Amino acid sequence: MLRRAVLGSFALVALLIASGPGAALAQEAAFVGGTEDVPLMPGLADLPDRLVVFDAPGGRIVEAFATGAVGRAELRRFYDEALAALGWRAARPFVWTRAAETLTIDVPEETDGKAAVRFSIHPRGS
């Protein structure tokens, strides 16, 4: 049941991407490494060698990284729309919550035109 809901949500995210400026990249839509519910923004490349996933008694812990030539404002717009479609609620800029989890996206300053983006999911309150 949950898997069907996630797949249905993914279709909605793909539709959001297809209707925006990244329409040409919509076919390449994927999820951030270690997740099935955080889409990887077009223009970002997953860094699987830096992925950490841990199932804790209180919930999952995921730390994943991606890199690409995307700006902070563009990244925030994409994730505000895409995550809302997947049931995540914005808590503050670059922080979302859903059920008992918190998702934080850290975007340090760009270096050489590319941003290194860190995705962190952990049980809420930890």
As a whole number, the mean pLDDT across the chain is 81
What is the rounded CA–CA span in Å between residue 48 and residue 85? 25
Q: Enter the pTM of the model.
A: 0.75
Higher-confidence position of 125 and 58: 58
Query: What b/e sequence results for 57-91 when a residue is b if at least 16 CB atoms lie within 10 Å of its CB, and e otherwise?
Result: eebebbbbbbbbebebeebeebbeebbeebebeee
Segment among 52-56, 99-103, 110-114 with least mean pLDDT:
110-114
From its phi and psi, is residue 99 left (phi > 0), alpha (psi between -120 and 50) or beta?
left
pLDDT tens-digit series, residues 79-90: 999 999 999 999
What is the rounded CA–CA span in Å between residue 56 and residue 94? 23
pLDDT of residue 112: 66
Question: How sure is the predictor about 114, in pLDDT bands with cuts at 50, 70 and 90?
Answer: confident
pLDDT tens-digit series, residues 1-27: 444 444 444 444 444 444 454 443 344
